[in-house]
Amino acid sequence: MRRAAFFATIIVCFTDMKENIEVTRFENGLTILTETMPDVRSITLGFWLKTGSRHEPADLNGICHFIEHAVFKGTNKRSALDIAIETDRLGGNFDAFTSHENVGFMVKVVDNKLDPAFDLIADMLTNPVFDEKEMRRERRVIIEEMKMVEDSPEEYLGELFLNEFFPGSALGLPIEGTRKTVKNFNHAILSEFHKKNYSADNLIIAAAGNVEHQAIIDLANKFFAPESKIRKPETSDPTPKIAAPILLTKKRDLEQAHLILATPWIAAGDERRYAASLLTSILGDGNSSRLWQTIREKRGLAYSVGASANSFDDCGIFSIYAGTSPDKLGEVVDLSIAELKKIKRKGVSVEELNLAKEQTLASVLLGLEDSGSRAGSLAQMEITFGKLIPLEETLKRIETVTIEEIQALAEEFFQTEKLALAALGNLNGLKITRERLDVS
């Protein structure tokens, strides 16, 4: 059970072999997607909820994450121990996560364990009991998780930054909630939120591996009757206003200073997502990337440095991250700004673009070998686009990205007044002005 990492690269969605992919949409809104991989003996089965932390009211901040934990604590027919034992019996490959826009439950099993795996997850999601004694224990567990985040400089800085970058928006609130909100979650509050959001029309079931589509349909009918009443979840969240803060937070007990340099970015469904992914790769995703070479290889200023992007339904964030010695933080900021300025003014070379394309294409094709990647991709495409995107189309769109498209993105998003900066550590009186972030 985990919170989804915030700073993640843009997911490149894909499908393969159209005849092996099947989709069924029930009248009650439930969507089932499967991809058959006949040469494997495994199945990855996943349930995705189209609600995440950004859809929570402020006073319920953290409830999606809390319920993700709570469903493991017992149902009408299984105790918490029963669930733990069954999970281990299935192989122990059970993962659950909460992100800003989704909650997910995925299990990878041997193909002859599909029925018990489906029964387990479906029972957990449809019949949790939210026992008060168990919930009190789980509150303590989640508060310990909050402490763990606070002890992890990279994660803690990410939360501080988001709160300033998305002021007044649920996107700026921590996925796990706060001590104040979590302490208020009880059986009644959890049951009410679960009833409104864990409904068939808010759910996607995806499976990939040695699986038959009809088998998933038959199992789904046991728990999510096609004629069941649709309950529209409360998931309204307006497009956030994005700020450009300069946030310097002192934490003297850290050996390193941690940096985030960020700017608004494209939304998940934007047609420019292929060019955006390649631009991110060229700047900071890989050992040959500009930031890695400039900051780590040529100057030895950081062990961890790179760029990533995260796109939501209606907005996105491009970010540069680095951890360095406090007395070198200013230099790392200046070098990062210089790289943004350079790519904005001079663009990228043909060699850089071709290398990024090869790297991305390899990542897509290698992902085809894993049932977990395929199931996750099916669900992500359904959530983001409402349709499946053929592999051939994805590969072609990557291959046909031009230098001009990369340049246009850099010019649009790398703007001095839109750049945000956050730093955490023993900053030794460091001051960063807007003028120092000039990328014009």
The 8-class DSSP code of residue 308 comes to E
On whether the CB atoms of residues 411 and 387 are closer than 8 A, the answer is no
Three-state SS annotation for 375-430: HHHHHHHHHHHCCCCCHHHHHHHHHCCCHHHHHHHHHHHCCHHHCEEEEEECCCCC
Residue in the block written with tokens 């995925």: 106
SS3 of residue 31 by DSSP: strand
pLDDT digits (tens, 9 = 90+) for 19-41: 589 999 999 999 999 999 999 99
Examine the residue annotation and report whether 68 is marked as an active-site residue of this protein. yes
- pLDDT for 428: 86
Residue 265: Cβ-neighbour burial (10 angstroms; 0-12, 13-18, 19+): buried
Residue 283: Cβ-neighbour burial (10 angstroms; 0-12, 13-18, 19+): buried
Give the β-pairing of 31-36 and 21-25: antiparallel
For residues 204 and 25, what is the distance between their CA atoms, to the nearest angstrom?
A: 9
For residues 151 and 149, what is the distance between their CA atoms, to the nearest angstrom?
A: 5
Quick check: do 2-223 and 246-437 share a fold?
A: yes
SS3 of residue 21 by DSSP: strand
DSSP 37-104: -TT-SEEEEEEEES--GGGS-GGGTTHHHHHHHHGGGBBSS-BHHHHHHHHHHTTS-EEEEE-SS-EE
Q: Which of 243, 222, 254, 242 lies closest to 150 in space, CA to CA?
A: 254
Give the β-pairing of 42-49 and 103-110: antiparallel
Q: How many residues does the chain have?
A: 440
- pLDDT for 433: 96
- pLDDT for 2: 56
On whether the CB atoms of residues 39 and 200 are closer than 8 A, the answer is no
Q: Which of 267, 256, 277, 249 lies closest to 364 in space, CA to CA?
A: 277
Range 2-223 classified under CATH 3.30.830.10:
yes
- Write the CA distances from 164 to 169, 247, 256, 288, 409, integer angstroms: 10, 8, 22, 32, 24
Residue 417: Cβ-neighbour burial (10 angstroms; 0-12, 13-18, 19+): exposed
For residues 28 and 46, what is the distance between their CA atoms, to the nearest angstrom?
A: 19
Q: Which of 68, 155, 159, 176 is catalytic?
A: 68
- pLDDT for 227: 54
For residues 206 and 377, what is the distance between their CA atoms, to the nearest angstrom?
A: 9
For residues 145 and 154, what is the distance between their CA atoms, to the nearest angstrom?
A: 15
**Which residue blocks in 91-207 are alpha helix, DSSP H?**
114-126, 132-150, 153-165, 179-182, 187-197
- Single pTM value for the model: 0.92
Residue in the block written with tokens 């700073």: 7
246-437: CATH topology: Cytochrome Bc1 Complex; Chain A, domain 1 (3.30.830)
- pLDDT for 238: 83
For residues 160 and 178, what is the distance between their CA atoms, to the nearest angstrom?
A: 13
What residue ranges do the domains of the chain occupy?
2-223, 246-437
For residues 399 and 364, what is the distance between their CA atoms, to the nearest angstrom?
A: 12
For residues 55 and 78, what is the distance between their CA atoms, to the nearest angstrom?
A: 29
Residue type, 326: P
Residues of the chain predicted below pLDDT 50: 5-18
Instruction: For residue 183, give both structure tokens.
Output: 């302490």
